[in-house]
Amino acid sequence: MSVRQTTADVVVVDYGLGNLRSVTRGLERAGADVTLSEDPAEFDAADGIVLPGVGAFSEGMDNAGPFREALVEQAEAGKPLFGICLGMQMLLTTSEEADHEGQGDAEGLDLIPGQNVRFSRDQTVPHMGWNELDVTRDHPLVEGVDGEHAYFVHSYYAVPDDENATVATTDYGTDFASIVANDAGNVFGTQFHPEKSGETGLRILRNYVDYCLDH
């Protein structure tokens, strides 16, 4: 009887923006062997890559510049790439945030075509606190989390060009995409922080580790 690999080697991208300690701790609890990396060359040997992020879109893309080419190459080669919060928004093509803040155009990774837009003035910004996940299509990341609650802190949300890229939605005056994925399924992101979302977040991180082991 063959012994299945039970620990995924996951690289967390350290580009100067992100809640690295809690993301690392959450992944380790989920069964990952985590490497914090400032070196894109370390992506090759990893089973999966996590792109965390807090802060502004344009600053995120500036900081992630040295990683851009390697992230796109790894994603296109099929490696599991998981963006968290700002990291999820960076998977898309553009964001209104850069223009809104007077920072001009900032180009995302364009791995999931679409735009990040600001919540309307009718809504309190940022959207902060616990809110419900409504899973809209199957994906390994969301197994067992439909109807559960996760922890959000954000003022912008993703609007993918292809509605099938939306894996789960959340209601905050409007139904927005709280989990997205590309067509191939290996690039995905959560607008919320799984590392701050209790058992629901841990389940998602475990689903991610399992996905890394299976691909």
Active site residue ranges:
85, 193, 195
**Pairwise CA distance, residues 75 & 71, whole Å:** 6
CA distances from 145 to 136, 204, 207 (A): 11, 8, 10
Place of tokens 């992101």: 189
Instruction: Tell me the three-class secondary structure of 156-196, residue by residue.
Output: EEEEECCHHHEEEEEECCCEEEEEEECCCCCEEEECCCHHH
Residues shown for the chain: 215
Q: Does the bond joining 126 to the residue before it have cis omega, within 30 degrees of 0? A: yes
Burial environment of residue 160 by CB neighbours within 10 A (0 to 12, 13 to 18, 19 or more): buried
